[in-house]
Amino acid sequence: MTSTATPAYDELAATCRRLHHLEHLQSLAGWDQAANMPPKGNDARAAAMAEMSALLHRMRTEPAFGRRIDEAEQEPLSDLQRANLREIRRGWVADTALPESLVQRRALATARCEHAWRTQRPANDWAGFVDNFRAVLAIGREQAGLLAEKTGVSRYEALMDQYEPGLSCAQVDRVFGEVRQWLPGLIQQVLDHQRTRPLIEPVGPFPVAAQRALCDRVMRLLGFDFDAGRLDVSTHPFCGGVPEDVRMTTRFTEREFLGSLMGTVHETGHGRYEQNRPRDLLGQPVGQARSMAIHESQSLSFEMQLGSHPGFVALLAPMIREAFGEQPAFEPGNLQRLLTRVKPGCIRVDADEVTYPAHIILRYEIERPLIEGEIEAEDVPALWDAKMQELLGVDTRGNFRDGPLQDVHWPEGLFGYFPCYSLGAMYAAQWFAAMRRAMPDLDARIARGDLGAVFDWLRDHIWTQASRWTTDELARRASGEALNPAHFRAHLQARYLGC
């Protein structure tokens, strides 16, 4: 090896590349487990992936790796290298914050809770769930405490930080506080506005092969590169793989097609972000996608900003007719009304774009005091009912199944993730507002199928920027300001109230 002025940094970068290659195999094994693996392969696969996890953990927490980070700080690094070092250190702090014993206890407690939850949810068994969940929560608090100690932020912030680096409760409080002011009123206005709209339901069945071909065609329209990725089927859709080989999944039911079509449009947003991460930074933390909120801002740019845009829906309509034959429901205006139908309900994953943030605000307002120790697991159902009533006017009393038992996040101990979903929707609105300022004819372009302008903007401002900047800085460079929920409000008003 030739000597350089940055030996410690170079060693870190080489280790990151090695980790990246091994993580590629791990990611592929995870995709295959969901998309291909026959049932009897499960134990062997779990053992193989656990072995790899342990190996990766050892590599990431090697004490020498930590020493190199300190040494590299003193080296003459470029701005890009310094950004990479920042991300390397962030990973190091997170990976070394938790003792092995906690990681193991956490795995056991969440596995037990999640496994029991699968039957407790359909049985509406909140009491049974709480028995297991107490342990998950206790470990979540412990984990939050250790992470907070290392990073100097509050406990809940330390958990959010894993998914959205640097996100503060003050910022979330400000943003969600604003939304809370106008959202219930807006929902009521939209409901009044939509009450008398004519709506024709599509008539199934919709053959899976035709749905699959339609999804392929729409993914191509959305610029997905099938030479660098695939679409397969799994129970829970996701987007995995590596940028050169993105593995997206979806699911189909013959009863209905709009759900899986829009799910595929959503995942295609994740997929294009991944496919367009900068090739020269691959394998380095600075080359990773910025954060989960920014990732969601891409899937929601595709699914919501584009996907139910009247111009885009008019492009979809002939493809839908070609896939399933002529139906009155496939008239573009009707399709767009179907895609923008607003209906307050109990279930987050079934929620429309307008009511969705209410579900997230509720979870944030319960999760945060849970982690900070201000409330206990037993307090959740009453809070849930009160907030559902207040935010959406929905009565969930006694219905734990469609209440606090509905999400897999809590049984799995994933605290601090929920805000990313709604922040992503808000960032997406902010990106499209910035695009419209730069291209006043954007909507006309979309209507005539010229989507290149959208993709070019996202590529230049988001995809190729990867983790070079903090999220706030990325937002400022892309749109002139940090997260501002006014754009999301304006988007909802324009799309749902025509004002």
Token pair for 327: 């139906």
Cis upstream peptide for 202 (omega within 30°): no
CB of 96 to a copy of itself, least distance (A): 22
| Nearer to a copy of itself among residue 26 and residue 124 (C-beta) | 26
Contact 272, 451 (CB under 8 A): no
CB of 462 to a copy of itself, least distance (A): 21
Q: What is the DSSP string of 249-316?
A: EE--BTTBSHHHHHHHHHHHHHHHHHHTS-GGGTTSGGGS-S-HHHHHHHHHIIIIIITT-HHHHHHH
From 267, 303, 353, 367, the catalytic residue: 267
**CA distances to 127, 326, 365 from 109, in Å:** 17, 52, 24
Whole-number Å distance between alpha carbons of 110 and 98:
16
CB of 246 to a copy of itself, least distance (A): 9
| Nearer to a copy of itself among residue 135 and residue 233 (C-beta) | 233
| Nearer to a copy of itself among residue 59 and residue 346 (C-beta) | 59
Whole-number Å distance between alpha carbons of 25 and 337:
43
CB of 243 to a copy of itself, least distance (A): 8
CB of 226 to a copy of itself, least distance (A): 6
Whole-number Å distance between alpha carbons of 238 and 299:
11
Element counts in the chain: helices (H) and strands (E): 20, 3
Contact 315, 332 (CB under 8 A): no
Whole-number Å distance between alpha carbons of 202 and 111:
40
Whole-number Å distance between alpha carbons of 281 and 279:
5
Handedness of CA 325, 327, 332, 337 (dihedral sign): negative
Token pair for 141: 């608090």
Handedness of CA 293, 442, 466, 233 (dihedral sign): positive
Opening angle at CA 363, ends 359 and 366, nearest 5: 140
CB of 18 to a copy of itself, least distance (A): 6
CB of 33 to a copy of itself, least distance (A): 10
Q: Give the residues lining the site for a copy of itself (CB under 8 A).
A: 18, 21-22, 24-26, 28-29, 32, 36-41, 43-45, 47-52, 55, 225-230, 241-245, 282
β-sheet with 245-250: strand ranges across: 229-233, 245-250, 239-242
Q: Is 114 a catalytic residue?
A: no
Catalytic positions are 267
